[in-house]
A = this chain, B = another copy of it.
Amino acid sequence: MHQTTIAMSKCDQCIVRQLSSLKALNKEEVIKLANSKTSYKIKKGEAIFEEGEITNGVFCVKDGIGKLSKLSANGKDQIVKLVKSGELLGQRSMISNEPANLTAKAVADMEVCFIPKSEIINFFNSNNQFSLNMMQSVCEDLKESENEKIALVQKTVKQRLAETLLHLHDEFGEDTDKTLKVQLTREELAGIIGTATESCIRLLSDFNKLGLIELVGKKIMLKDVRALKKLADN
């Protein structure tokens, strides 16, 4: 009994509960959630689930940053989406009743909770707002994916890099030293914009020389946001 109360209060105050579809859950449902969830810690580089795996539930990202990606035949890892604290992972596969289409790995140490599918289905059936929230979340992903698809074709690698840097800045913010908070390797960054690692490095180097960014070791500081925006949009 005491246990339940603690678990509930934990889920109740959790950032995922505040930001994701789960915000529609009522107190009673949150208690059920707290009792059925499992927590995990995932270290940088480790996988949460791999392409083809049957996940049978969703993962809540409590802390850290993850990437959803797909390995190509030539060994390159195309990153489809980054997820941060407050977001859900694996919704699509669960809803479609399919094995995961993408691999989820930690880009920075993560804390996640697993909610079994049966629980989610119960929420679907009993809570209309929850269904609607989740539907909207998938719709949001769809819109983003479509727009990125278009950008991938209509913009040059240079434009996409500028765009991605701005996006990372917007979404994840900056450290105290003004550099981007998400620390991706050049290879990962290349995997987001869809280019060769060397091309990515070269362009970063160009941006640096042009004063658009500053390279502080492996970290990246945006120096001229306005110019980056202009470059991305042009």
Contact = CB atoms under 8 A, between A and B. Distances in A.
A231 interface: no
Interface string A132-152: 101110111111011111101
Interface stretch (A6-14, A37-45, A68-76, A178-186): A68-76
Closest 8 A-B residue pairs measured CB to CB? A153-B194, A72-B154, A145-B145, A96-B139, A142-B142, A149-B149, A92-B139, A78-B150
Nearest to A74: B154
B72 A136 contact: no
Nearest to A72: B154
Contacts of A74: 154
Contacts of A95: 132, 135-136, 139
A95 B194 CA distance: 30
13 contacts: A73-B234, A78-B150, A95-B132, A96-B136, A101-B143, A124-B131, A124-B132, A131-B135, A135-B135, A135-B138, A138-B142, A145-B145, A154-B194
Q: How many copies does the complex hold?
A: 2
Contacts of A5: none
Contacts of A125: 128
A132 B138 CA distance: 12
Nearest to A149: B149
A154 B80 contact: no
Contact of A128 (B92, B96, B124, B145): B124
Contacts of A31: none
Nearest to A135: B135
Contact of A194 (B92, B145, B152): B152
A149 B147 contact: no
